[in-house]
Amino acid sequence: METATSPVTLHPFTPADAERLLDGHVDPIDGWEGGYSFTDEPELLAEYVRAAQRDGDPAPFGPYLVRRVGLDGEEGVAVGGVNLFGPPDVRGAVEFAFGLVPAVRGEGLSHHVVDAAVAVLRDAGALIARAECEIANLPARRVLEQAGLVEVGRTDDQVAYEIRL
């Protein structure tokens, strides 16, 4: 399932994609704007593949690439990622995390990314979307709050947010 918003789309990152990258088969579309790509994090790719082999493909939960959408509607290079840590827990909650490459921060894309992640979770049957971020990360906190998530807890360095779907 792909979820499109303007100017980004969430593109599912599959276990087959991870295996391909771990085997060294990198397609130019795998690269991220600013030069970052999942190939820089082989331990995360390997853990994702192991989990998929053990538990099956987690779709619609799991990792997504955030890709720019051009004026022509075509997907461009990845500018970030989202991970949906599902399936839902006993409360129906699913935590998500997101990040964008430094080259695109400040362009307002995070709002679209959070909205798209919440939409995927809603469509997947989650009852609550949950996210955590560092207390010091004011831009991320503002994005989550503007998307309707409210603070439900905090530790010395983290704030937890939730929204009922």
What does the pLDDT read at residue 158? 97
DSSP 109-141: HHHHHHHHHHHHHHHTT-SEEEEEEETT-HHHH
Average the pLDDT over 88-104 and give the result.
93
**Separation of alpha carbons 108 and 113, rounded Å:** 9
pLDDT at 64 over 80: yes
- How many distinct helices (H) and strands (E) make up the chain? 4, 8
**Separation of alpha carbons 24 and 164, rounded Å:** 41
What does the pLDDT read at residue 121? 97
pLDDT at 50 over 60: yes
Average the pLDDT over 105-118 and give the result.
93
**Separation of alpha carbons 45 and 115, rounded Å:** 25
Q: Would you give the end-to-end CA distance of the chain in angstroms?
A: 19
Per-residue tokens: 101: 């490459």
Average the pLDDT over 88-96 and give the result.
97
What does the pLDDT read at residue 5? 45
Q: Among residues of the chain, what percentage have pLDDT more than 90?
A: 51
Handedness of CA 118, 119, 123, 127 (dihedral sign): positive
The residue ranking higher by pLDDT, 26 or 85, is 85
pLDDT at 42 over 80: no
Per-residue tokens: 12: 């599912």
162-145-9-85 Cα dihedral, nearest 10 degrees:
-20
**Separation of alpha carbons 55 and 62, rounded Å:** 12
